[in-house]
């Protein structure tokens, strides 16, 4: 086993695929929510974490390890949180005409509040059950099969994320292209005022979008509990920069480019670091360095235009050349 | 409109300040939720300050320690009463969130309340941040878990009831070598703790005749699948016989879970430092099965077959339903030492207590063994035990101490993996 | 309770307040007034701290004839030597303080200046992310760079007033240093904001494209502001390093930046006195909590969590209810304003 060029390449490729699936599940909803609402939502990290903790509390307190149940519950809960955020915070701010920066900062406040609310919940749960929920081990589910393809073992996480990611991609495509409500979502995304005038119930559509996006991320969190060895209330946070990077590659508007971004980042993080480590002796602890470099490079080389990014300066040269 | 907003803002501010001041006043006048003890007239009350990691990276062990403090203070009070001293010890516990700044703030608060003996903080980086303040203000500080070799500084007010990692690295090296490994990959946290440990391990293992390849990994990441993959390929390309893992609990559990899925990593031996010991995440079925497959062993500061330790462990389980995790016994002894040092000093003065502490430690034997300090104020005689993860217990798997490190070699007291 | 050292409390609280106030003033200048959403404030802070730590540790050893390639200041022998040699010469210590402040300002400021280039490319909405990522990049780099102690960091850094025998006097002297630098920062930022430049900054924040159309050289302005703001943040870092006498890469994580953001939101965007108020409130509450929480007995929930939930909710509530914060933004005080006010008063008569 193992390639000749890079030892362990097979494992690296498996990890790349696994991470690609996770990034798809986490980032597609981010892109969709931004595209429709123009809100850069820091609290997206909480959707992932809360989804994971729904599964954890089900497992730790009630001894339940059925993924389908956890997934449905997580979908409902995180979706509801997303809608709550919108109704209570984002919409009032937008009505008042606050700048996107202010709304982003408010989402940062929400992110902090939700995170520590979860910490408090783990403390309370600890008090009653003595179990430690601040750092929880991997959950083995009873309703997810392990697979085997051509001699390669597929873990539970892989099977579950493969099924989920495929479903998400297919269903989102069908929703946005074929259904009336999906077209309404696209209309609101492209031109909110026109959409409203032509009779589309904008606030309903926006809330529905938030519900779906939050829910999908929550399901991703549930699957994460079968992959990671230790989940903490900061689980979503440590991944949020990668998730945003993938979104930025998609310009935060194009779902297809987001998918490409997912593959790219997953590859850099797994195969890229393996190559750098084998041939250039770069320590493995430099892995997050690569992600950040990619983030900055993406932002600089191709900043998402839809956010008013970089427009004035693309054409501004010294001595102004028109 | 403007009137409403301004008043609302003002109300918020007044509320916060009012809460703070109100509690502050209540605290000073003793009107808080303090449990009243029937106090005989001249009973002297001594307060010991505790700065514990109740939140943050080490919170899972911090929570266990809170209970150890409770037990220790009770035991201490019972003992001094039995010896005829009319004194009572009280604890004041503060959370430092495993950060350096908060640890300093907590120590400052203790000093400003007139407390002269502080126990904690847990992490070496925190101890480094409080050292100059503690030395300047003559406060006796005892850390039960800071093991950085760079803190072995003589003539200061920092004491540690745990041996530095230099000693544990030796034990771990002996363990690996004795179990037949000659070429190992050291997979370690790239921080204070991991780096020092890895450096010492390398020195000792080389001395014994083995070879070491070091592989650091970044701390605080959500997942280590990629790092584990690199580890696997390194193991393969270097032809290593064992992996030595130096980690804390969260990253340790994550790494072991991923290693369980790798054929390469499941066919070599694994040796671990004390970091992940006691963490429940390692008792998942994935890790438990992996442990028996690779015959996983770890070292930790311990004195096995110490009847005082067994008694301490049983009482913790009885009282709180919790096994004492790593460093609990060092914490317990730190508290006892502090109490007896205060008594021996006769006055509640930092310099006197410091001198008394050194004397008391010379003759104290507790759950962590002999507590005598070396010239740098660290535990002079630190023993190490060997632990394994075996089936059993409420979670399906449990930690078990199966051997000890004595005079340069490992002695197994029982068969861990059949 | 035994007794309460109120003087000690005030000194320790005000020292930390001073350091954070410098950070909030500069953040308010950058984000509150000029609209540069700086999520990477902590990196300039950290760079300043590391500059002073490295400079002081290495120079004290070298000037005392120690060979630093044999005994570097991050190994145990070096640390013990630092402890012994650290307080020999008051002149040296104070000289190192001044040197550190100047060099930290220059280094952090230049870093801010350099980072303006990527920021200009990405546009206002992603400034935050760019700065945040750059900050993390630097932190990871420091964790691997051996000469500054890599992940172990540096410790036993000799302080500028270590030669003063009495600890209370020493603390008071340090406090005056911190407050002095705070005053300097306040004066500089106040002058910058209450000037035609300040008006331009607000224009930049509210509508960058309009400002561009009016002929303002936006890139140069942003670079200058970031240079000054980051420079002062670097000096705050120097103060922190001497205060904790140790530095470590994990001290400079994004959570520190978010804490400072909470301060300026609470206090009010664009209002300097508001930043001082915000910093004062948050540092005060933190300090008081350490006195209050032990009185609550055995806690089910760690009060630290509650504190952060409140901080997060406060940010949201303040933005919802009164985005101007506790103290609203005042008009910019320039001579032109006086003329306008005069005329208004004259007309209303």
Chain A residue numbers with beta carbons less than 8 Å from the beta carbon of B250 are: 135, 230, 232
Residue among C248, C318, C325 with most chain B CBs within 10 A, to mutate: C248
Same domain? B366 vs B392: no
How far is B18 from chain C, CA to nearest CA, in Å?
11
> B249-259 vs B285-294: helix axis angle to the nearest 10?
70
pLDDT the model gives residue C348:
58
Q: How many CB atoms lie within 10 A of CB B128?
A: 30
With a cut of 60, say whether residue B38 has pLDDT above it: no
- pLDDT: is B59 or A72 the higher one? A72
Does the beta-carbon distance from C305 to A123 stay under 8 Å?
yes
Same domain? B93 vs B204: no
With a cut of 60, say whether residue B223 has pLDDT above it: yes
Note the helical H segments in chain A: 9-37, 44-62, 67-85, 91-95, 100-129, 156-178, 180-190, 192-197, 202-224, 235-249, 255-267, 273-280, 287-301, 311-314
Residue pair C18/C32 in contact by the 8 Å Cβ criterion: no
Range of the domain at B101: 44-162+327-370
With a cut of 90, say whether residue C144 has pLDDT above it: no
CA-based nearest residue to A26, from A241, A270, A309: A241
Q: Assign B34 a pLDDT band (cuts: 50, 70, 90).
A: very low
Chain A residue numbers with beta carbons less than 8 Å from the beta carbon of C311 are: 109, 112-113
Q: Which pTM does this prediction carry?
A: 0.85
d(CA B300, CA B168): 7
Determine the residue of chain B that is closest to C322 in CA distance.
B5
How far is C206 from chain B, CA to nearest CA, in Å?
21
Does the beta-carbon distance from C2 to B93 stay under 8 Å?
no
| % of chain C surpassing 90 pLDDT | 29
Query: Residue B356 is part of a domain; what is its CATH number?
Result: 3.40.50.2300
Q: What is the pLDDT of residues A46-103, one digit of tens each?
A: 999 999 999 999 998 888 888 889 999 999 999 999 999 999 999 998 888 888 888 8
Query: Which phi and psi (to 5°) does residue B182 adopt?
Result: -120, -20
- Give the pair of three-digit tokens for residue A253: 């508007």
Does the beta-carbon distance from A285 to C261 stay under 8 Å?
no
Same domain? B119 vs B177: no
Between positions 28 and 57 of B, the ones with CB within 8 A of A are 55
d(CA C95, CA C63): 13
CA-based nearest residue to C310, from C262, C264, C278: C262
Does the beta-carbon distance from B253 to A283 stay under 8 Å?
no
Q: What is the pLDDT of residues C216-261, one digit of tens each?
A: 788 888 889 999 999 999 999 999 999 988 888 888 988 899 899 9
Question: Residue B312 falls within a domain, yes or no?
Answer: no
Please state the rounded mean pLDDT for residues B29-58: 68
Q: What is the pLDDT of residues B405-418, one digit of tens each?
A: 888 888 888 888 86
CA-based nearest residue to A209, from A247, A236, A251, A181: A181
Chain B residue numbers with beta carbons less than 8 Å from the beta carbon of C140 are: 218
Between positions 296 and 335 of C, the ones with CB within 8 A of A are 300-302, 305-306, 308-309, 311-316, 319-320, 323
Question: Residue B309 falls within a domain, yes or no?
Answer: no
Per the omega criterion (within 30 degrees of 0), is the bond before B121 cis? Answer: yes
Q: What share of chain B is helix, strand, coil (3-state, %, to 5)?
A: 50, 20, 30
Residue A275 sits at the vertex; the CA angle it makes with A274 and A276, to the nearest 5 degrees, is: 95
> C196-206 vs C218-244: helix axis angle to the nearest 10?
100
d(CA C38, CA C258): 10
Does the beta-carbon distance from B94 to C251 stay under 8 Å?
no
With a cut of 60, say whether residue A314 has pLDDT above it: no
Q: Which class would CATH give A9-308?
A: mainly alpha
Q: Say whether the ipTM exceeds 0.90.
A: no
- pLDDT: is B172 or C322 the higher one? B172
Q: Domain extents for chain C?
A: 6-254
Count of positions (residues) in chain A = 322
Does the beta-carbon distance from C144 to A308 stay under 8 Å?
no
Of B20, B93, B218, the CB nearest to C294: B93
How far is A237 from chain C, CA to nearest CA, in Å?
11
The contacts of residue C142 (CB under 8 Å, 6+ apart) are C46, C50, C148, C150, C249
DSSP 8-state assignment for residue C170: H
Residue pair B243/B185 in contact by the 8 Å Cβ criterion: yes
- Give the pair of three-digit tokens for residue C105: 């300002």
The contacts of residue B145 (CB under 8 Å, 6+ apart) are B122, B123, B162, B326, B327, B330, B331
Same domain? B147 vs B53: yes
- Burial class (CB within 10 angstroms; exposed 0-12, middle 13-18, buried 19+) of C339: exposed
With a cut of 50, say whether residue A308 has pLDDT above it: no
Does the beta-carbon distance from A135 to B250 stay under 8 Å?
yes
- pLDDT: is C326 or A301 the higher one? A301
Residue B8 sits at the vertex; the CA angle it makes with B6 and B13, to the nearest 5 degrees, is: 95
Does the beta-carbon distance from A7 to B262 stay under 8 Å?
no
Distances from the Cα of B105 to the Cαs of A284, B97, B247, C286, C338, in angstroms?
35, 11, 28, 9, 45
Note the helical H segments in B260-391: 285-294, 307-320, 328-345, 350-363
Question: Residue B308 falls within a domain, yes or no?
Answer: no
Please state the rounded mean pLDDT for residues C12-20: 93
Does the beta-carbon distance from A295 to C133 stay under 8 Å?
yes
With a cut of 70, say whether residue B14 has pLDDT above it: no
- pLDDT: is A211 or A139 the higher one? A211
Same domain? B225 vs B155: no
- Burial class (CB within 10 angstroms; exposed 0-12, middle 13-18, buried 19+) of C328: middle
Q: How many CB atoms lie within 10 A of CB C151?
A: 26
d(CA B140, CA B357): 9
Same domain? B97 vs B224: no
Residue B68 sits at the vertex; the CA angle it makes with B65 and B70, to the nearest 5 degrees, is: 115
Q: What is the pLDDT of residues A254-294, one digit of tens each?
A: 788 888 888 988 888 888 888 888 778 777 778 888 888 88
């Amino acid at each position: 086993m193992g390639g000749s060029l890079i030892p362990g390449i097979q494992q690296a490729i498996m990890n790349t695929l696994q991470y690609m699936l996770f990034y798809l599940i986490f980032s597609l909803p981010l892109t969709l929510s931004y595209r429709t609402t123009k809100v850069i939502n820091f609290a997206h990290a909480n959707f992932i974490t809360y989804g994971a903790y729904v599964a954890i509390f089900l497992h730790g307190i009630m001894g339940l390890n059925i993924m389908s149940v956890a997934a449905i519950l997580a979908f409902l809960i995180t979706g509801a949180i997303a809608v709550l955020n919108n109704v209570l915070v984002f919409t009032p701010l937008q009505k008042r005409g606050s700048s996107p920066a202010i709304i982003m900062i408010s989402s940062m406040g929400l992110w902090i509040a939700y995170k520590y609310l979860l910490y408090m919940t783990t403390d309370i749960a600890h008090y009653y059950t003595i179990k430690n929920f601040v750092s929880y081990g991997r959950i083995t589910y009873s309703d997810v099969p392990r697979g085997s393809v051509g001699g390669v073992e597929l873990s539970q996480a892989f099977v579950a994320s493969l099924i989920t990611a495929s479903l998400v991609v297919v269903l989102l495509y069908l929703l946005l292209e074929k259904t009336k409500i999906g077209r309404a979502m696209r209309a609101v995304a492209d031109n909110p005022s026109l959409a409203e005038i032509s009779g589309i119930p904008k606030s309903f559509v926006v809330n529905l979008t938030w519900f779906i996006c939050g829910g999908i991320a929550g399901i991703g969190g549930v699957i994460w509990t079968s992959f990671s060895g230790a989940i903490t209330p900061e689980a979503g946070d440590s991944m949020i920069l990668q998730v945003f990077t993938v979104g930025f590659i998609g310009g935060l508007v194009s779902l297809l480019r987001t998918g490409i971004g997912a593959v790219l980042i997953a590859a850099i993080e797994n195969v890229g670091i393996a190559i750098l480590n084998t041939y250039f002796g770069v320590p493995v602890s430099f892995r997050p360095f690569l992600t950040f470099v990619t983030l900055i490079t993406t932002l600089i080389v191709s900043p998402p235009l839809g956010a008013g990014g970089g427009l004035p300066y693309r054409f501004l040269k010294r001595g102004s050349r028109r | 409109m403007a009137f409403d907003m301004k008043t609302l803002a003002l109300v918020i501010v007044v509320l916060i300040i009012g809460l703070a001041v109100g509690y502050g006043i209540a605290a000073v006048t003793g009107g808080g939720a303090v449990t009243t003890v029937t106090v005989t007239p001249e009973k002297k009350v001594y307060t010991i300050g505790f700065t514990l990691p109740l939140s943050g990276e080490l919170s899972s062990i911090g929570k266990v320690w809170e209970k150890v403090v409770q037990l220790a203070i009770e035991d201490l009070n019972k003992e001094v009463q039995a010896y005829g001293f009319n004194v009572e010890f009280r604890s004041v516990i503060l959370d430092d969130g495993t950060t350096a700044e908060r640890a300093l703030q907590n120590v400052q608060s203790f000093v400003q309340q007139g407390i002269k003996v502080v126990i904690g903080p847990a992490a070496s980086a925190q101890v480094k941040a409080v050292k100059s303040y503690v030395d300047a203000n003559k406060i006796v500080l005892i850390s039960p878990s800071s093991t950085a070799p760079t803190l072995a500084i003589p003539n200061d007010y920092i004491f540690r009831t745990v041996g530095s990692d230099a000693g544990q690295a030796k034990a771990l090296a002996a363990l690996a070598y004795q179990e037949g490994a000659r070429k190992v990959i050291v997979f370690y946290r790239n921080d204070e703790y991991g780096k020092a440990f890895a450096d010492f391990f390398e020195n000792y293992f080389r001395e014994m005749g083995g070879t070491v390849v070091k592989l650091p990994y970044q701390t605080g990441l959500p997942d280590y699948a990629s790092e584990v993959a690199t580890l696997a390929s390194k193991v393969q390309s270097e032809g290593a016989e064992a992996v030595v893992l130096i980690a804390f609990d969260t990253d340790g559990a994550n790494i072991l879970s991923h290693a369980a899925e790798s054929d390469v990593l499941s066919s070599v031996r694994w040796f671990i430092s004390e970091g992940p010991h006691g963490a429940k995440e390692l008792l998942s079925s994935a890790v438990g099965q992996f442990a028996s497959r690779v015959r996983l062993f770890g070292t930790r500061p311990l004195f096995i077959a110490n009847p005082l330790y067994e008694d301490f462990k049983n009482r913790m389980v009885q009282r709180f339903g919790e096994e004492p995790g790593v460093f609990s016994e060092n914490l317990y002894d730190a508290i006892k030492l502090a109490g007896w040092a205060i008594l021996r000093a006769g006055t509640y003065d930092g310099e006197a207590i410091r001198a008394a502490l050194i004397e008391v430690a010379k003759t104290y034997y507790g759950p962590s063994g002999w507590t005598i300090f070396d010239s740098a104020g660290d535990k002079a005689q630190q023993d190490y035990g060997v632990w394994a993860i075996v089936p059993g217990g409420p979670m399906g798997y449990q930690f078990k101490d199966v051997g000890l490190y004595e005079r340069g070699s490992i002695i197994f007291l029982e068969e861990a993996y059949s | 309770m035994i007794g309460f050292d109120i003087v000690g409390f005030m000194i320790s609280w005000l020292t930390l307040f001073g350091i954070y106030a410098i950070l909030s003033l500069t953040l308010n200048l950058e984000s509150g007034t000029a609209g540069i959403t700086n999520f990477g404030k902590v990196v300039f802070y950290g760079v300043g701290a590391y500059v002073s730590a490295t400079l002081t540790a290495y120079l004290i050893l070298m000037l005392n004839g120690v060979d630093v390639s044999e005994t570097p200041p991050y190994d145990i022998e070096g640390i013990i030597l630092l402890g012994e040699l650290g307080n020999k010469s008051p002149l040296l210590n104070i000289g190192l303080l001044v040197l550190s402040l100047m060099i930290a300002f220059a280094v952090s400021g230049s870093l801010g200046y350099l980072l303006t280039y990527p920021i200009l490319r990405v546009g206002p909405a992603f400034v935050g992310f760019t700065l945040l990522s750059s900050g993390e990049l630097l932190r990871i780099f420091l964790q691997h760079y051996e000469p500054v102690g890599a992940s172990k960091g540096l410790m036993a850094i000799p302080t500028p007033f270590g030669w003063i025998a009495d600890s209370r006097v020493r603390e008071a002297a340090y406090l005056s240093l911190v407050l002095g630098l705070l005053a300097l920062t306040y004066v500089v930022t106040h002058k910058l904001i209450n000037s035609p430049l300040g008006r331009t900054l607000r224009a930049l924040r509210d509508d960058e494209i309009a400002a561009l159309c009016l002929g303002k050289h936006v890139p140069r302005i942003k670079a200058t502001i970031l240079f000054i703001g980051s420079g002062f943040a670097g000096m705050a870092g120097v103060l922190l390093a001497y205060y904790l006498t140790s530095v470590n890469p994990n001290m400079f994580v994004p959570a520190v930046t978010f804490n400072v953001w909470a301060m300026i939101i609470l206090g009010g965007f664009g209002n300097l006195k508001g930043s001082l108020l915000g910093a004062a409130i948050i540092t005060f509450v933190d300090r008081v909590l350490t006195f209050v929480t032990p009185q609550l007995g055995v806690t089910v929930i760690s009060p630290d969590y509650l504190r952060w939930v409140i901080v997060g909710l406060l940010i949201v509530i303040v933005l919802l209810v009164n985005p101007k914060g506790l103290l609203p933004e005042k008009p910019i005080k320039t001579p032109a304003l006086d003329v306008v006010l005069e005329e208004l008063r004259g007309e209303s008569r």
